[in-house]
Amino acid sequence: MSGLNVLVVGASIAGPTAAYWFAKAGANVTIIERFPKLRTNGQGIDIRTAGVTVMRKMPRMEAAVRAKLSQLEGLSFVRENGTPFATLKATGDPNQQSLVSEYEIFRGDLAQILFDLTKDNERIKYVFGEQISSMQQKDDEPVTVEFANGLRTAKYDLVVACDGATSRTRAMALGCDIREHMRPVNTWAAYFSVEQDLLEGSKMGHAFSTIEGRFLALGPGPSGLNQVTLMAVRPRNDRDYTLPFREASKQGVGALKQYVFQYFDGAGWKADEILKGMMKSEDFYASEWVQVKVPSVYRGRVALVGDAGYAPGPTGHGTSLAIAGAYVLAGEVGRHKNDLAAGLRSYEERMRPIINDMQKIPPGIPGIMAPQTAWGIWLRNTLFIFVAWCMAFSSLFAWISKFFASYFASAFGSDKYGLPDYEWVA
Which pLDDT score, from 0 to 100, does residue 405 have?
A: 47
- Rounded to the nearest angstrom, the gap between the alpha carbon of residue 291 and the centroid of all alpha carbons in its chain is 11
Report the run of H or E that residue 9 belongs to, with start and end: strand 5-9
Question: What's the rounded Cα separation, in Å, for the pair 76 and 144?
Answer: 52
- The reported pTM is 0.87
Question: What's the rounded Cα separation, in Å, for the pair 308 and 304?
Answer: 6
Find, among 344, 340, 301, 339, the residue nearest to 145 by Cα: 301
Which residues fall within 8 angstroms of residue 208, CB to CB, at 6 or more apart?
A: 77, 78, 79, 80, 215, 216, 217, 268, 269, 270
- Domains in the chain with CATH codes: 5-69+105-180+292-358 (3.50.50.60)
Which pLDDT score, from 0 to 100, does residue 391 have?
A: 60
CA angle 281, 285, 291 (to 5 degrees): 160
Question: What's the rounded Cα separation, in Å, for the pair 176 and 346?
Answer: 24
Cβ–Cβ < 8 Å for 233, 242: no
Bridge-based pairing of strands 302-304 and 158-161 is: parallel
Which pLDDT score, from 0 to 100, does residue 337 have?
A: 85
Question: What's the rounded Cα separation, in Å, for the pair 142 and 156?
Answer: 5
**Along the 426 residues of the chain, how does pLDDT read in single tens digits?**
568 999 999 998 999 999 999 999 999 999 999 999 998 776 777 888 888 999 999 999 999 988 887 777 778 888 889 888 888 765 554 444 445 556 778 888 899 999 999 999 999 999 999 999 999 998 889 999 999 998 999 999 999 999 999 999 999 999 999 999 999 899 999 999 898 888 888 888 898 999 888 999 998 876 778 889 999 998 877 788 899 999 999 999 999 999 999 999 999 999 999 999 999 998 898 999 999 999 999 999 999 999 999 999 887 788 999 999 999 999 999 999 889 999 999 999 999 999 999 898 877 777 777 778 888 888 877 877 877 666 665 554 444 545 544 444 444 555 678 898 998 875
Cβ–Cβ < 8 Å for 45, 146: no
Which pLDDT score, from 0 to 100, does residue 335 have?
A: 92
The amino acid that residue 384 corresponds to is F
Cβ–Cβ < 8 Å for 168, 131: yes
Question: What's the rounded Cα separation, in Å, for the pair 267 and 80?
Answer: 9
Q: What is the DSSP letter of 13?
A: S
Q: How much of the chain is helix, strand and coil, in % rounded to 5?
A: 35, 25, 40
Which pLDDT score, from 0 to 100, does residue 406 have?
A: 45
- Rounded to the nearest angstrom, the gap between the alpha carbon of residue 366 and the centroid of all alpha carbons in its chain is 15
Cβ–Cβ < 8 Å for 414, 49: yes
Bridge-based pairing of strands 158-161 and 28-33 is: unpaired
Question: What's the rounded Cα separation, in Å, for the pair 223 and 44?
Answer: 15
Instruction: Categorise residue 281: left if φ over 0, alpha if ψ from -120 to 50, beta otherwise.
Output: beta
Coil/strand/helix, residue 24: helix
- Count the residues in the chain: 426
Helices 107-118 + 14-24 axis angle, to 10: 20
**In b/e form, how buried is each residue of 393-424, taking b as 16+ CB within 10 angstroms?**
eeeebeebbeebbeebebbbebbebebeebeb
Q: In what order do the strands lie in the sheet with 132-136?
A: 132-136, 143-147, 154-156
- Residue 98: phi and psi, rounded to 5, are -105, -165
Report the run of H or E that residue 98 belongs to, with start and end: none
- Rounded to the nearest angstrom, the gap between the alpha carbon of residue 21 and the centroid of all alpha carbons in its chain is 20
